[in-house]
Amino acid sequence: MKKIFYLGYYNLPDSGTNFVLAAVNKMNYICEAVEKAGYSTEIVSASGAVEKKFCKSKKVKLTDKTTLKLFSSLPRLNRIVSVIDRVILKTKLFLYMIKNTNKDSIVMVYHSLGYMSLVKRLKKLKGFKLIIEAEEIYGDVIGDEKTTQKEYDFFKIADGFIFPTELLSEKVNTEKKPEVIIYGTYHIEKEMPKLFSDGKIHCVYAGTFDPRKGGAIASAESALFLDENYHVHILGFGNEKEKAEMLNTIDNISKKSKADITYDGLLSGEEYIKFIQSCDIGLSTQNPNAKFNDTSFPSKILSYMANGLRVVSVRIPVVEESGIGKCVYYYDEQTPENIAKAIKSIDFSEEYDSRKTIGVLDKAFICDLKTMLKGLE
């Protein structure tokens, strides 16, 4: 069985190293799809320590056909040590890929600004087939045209692509190289017992607190326009400043709102799934005018749908024109009041089966992925 190398900042939630839930969930699903397509996967991660303790190098068996390679990482004592550790990690990653790949290898790379030049050198030296998983154009997110141009230069060396939207494919894959489209995670989660039995409609926002995305605060403030029949939950992550602002916002809203609103932490694994399934509506709220909306699909929508939730989203082309566009409830203007109106417009008596929709997308993705991998062998 041929092994696919998968480079990305992957880690386990209790490892003491950097852990980004959305990226890990997406990588887990793609590994499952690779396995179903008839291949095995070795995830190679350069994720560094985030705590003041040394992390050992190790190889972990995640499933029968998926392994994870982690490198040792220095404790986060200060900025100087952190910079030194990042350089050492990149060196270890480079040497490991030099040793373990050849011209017949297939390497998938979860696009990151952190190792574009490293991957370029590896590709030139080893000649492997390169699939770039481009989730978004990061230069668009941070508003830096030079970074955007560097990304497009990087994309030129790819032999194939994994894209989250048709719009990003149109922008990047002008040479019409092999590609597959995956909006997000298509793994259908089994049903679990509900955590809530208070008769309320539970809405959840799960994602980043980054103000550039503009979603978490907007979701929280929608509670001001909902009545006592609703409970808005905020799950997510951000830096210390962003988290403090989020907690302060929730505290202020709770003093004014008839609806309940709570911050429920950063959950992962079965704990996250059980919590999400206990809610009724998933909120995909973000700034509709942000440039990244042209190329980035809100993957949380698929996570919500895979757990049976209805989804409220801002109306943007990447969602509305996608394969799940007709299953979403939209609002047009990015205000808490309009988000609340969309929430209240949902008729729970209407037939709705988001898991079935996800199942169709899952089968199509595995088929397309298998075709691309076979073509690159």
133 and 271 assigned to the same domain: no
Beta bridge partners of 161: 132, 179
170 and 255 both lie in a single domain = no
pLDDT of residue 221: 96
Measured distance CA(283)–CA(343) in Å, rounded: 9
Do 154 and 69 lie in one domain? The reply is yes
What's the confidence (pLDDT) of residue 268? 80
* Of the candidate ranges 93-97, 246-250, 315-319, the one whose mean pLDDT is the lowest: 315-319
Residues 46 and 132 in one domain: yes
> Does any domain span residue 17?
yes
Q: In residues, how long is the chain?
A: 377
Residue 195 lies in a domain: no
| Best CA proximity match to 216, nearest among 184, 238, 201 | 238
Query: In this structure, are 60 and 136 located in the same domain?
Result: yes
Helix (H) or strand (E) holding 193: none
pLDDT tier at 68, thresholds 50, 70, 90: very high
Chain-wide mean pLDDT for the chain?
90
pLDDT value of position 303: 86
Same domain flag for 147 and 238: no
**Contact between 70 and 45 (Cβ < 8 Å):** yes
28 and 56 share one domain: yes
Instruction: Answer whether 130's CB lies under 8 Å from 158's CB.
Output: yes
Structural domain total, the chain: 2
345-371: average pLDDT:
94
pLDDT given at position 101: 96
- Look at residue 139 and tell me if it is in a domain: yes
- Residue 296, pLDDT above cutoff 80: no
User: Do residues 74 and 152 share a domain?
Assistant: yes
- Between 145-155 and 116-126, two packed helices, what is the crossing angle to 10 degrees? 20
Clarify whether residues 131 and 209 are in a common domain.
Answer: no
The torsion angles phi and psi of 68, rounded to 5 degrees, stand at: -125, 125
367 lies in some domain: yes
Residue 190 domain flag:
no
Whether 220 and 258 map to the same domain: the answer is: yes
Going by the DSSP 8-state scheme, the letter that residue 109 receives in this structure is E
In this structure, are residues 4 and 160 in contact, taking their beta carbons and an 8 Å threshold? no
Q: Of 301, 372, 361, 328, nearest to 132 (Cα)?
A: 372
Residue range of the domain that includes 26: 3-185+363-376
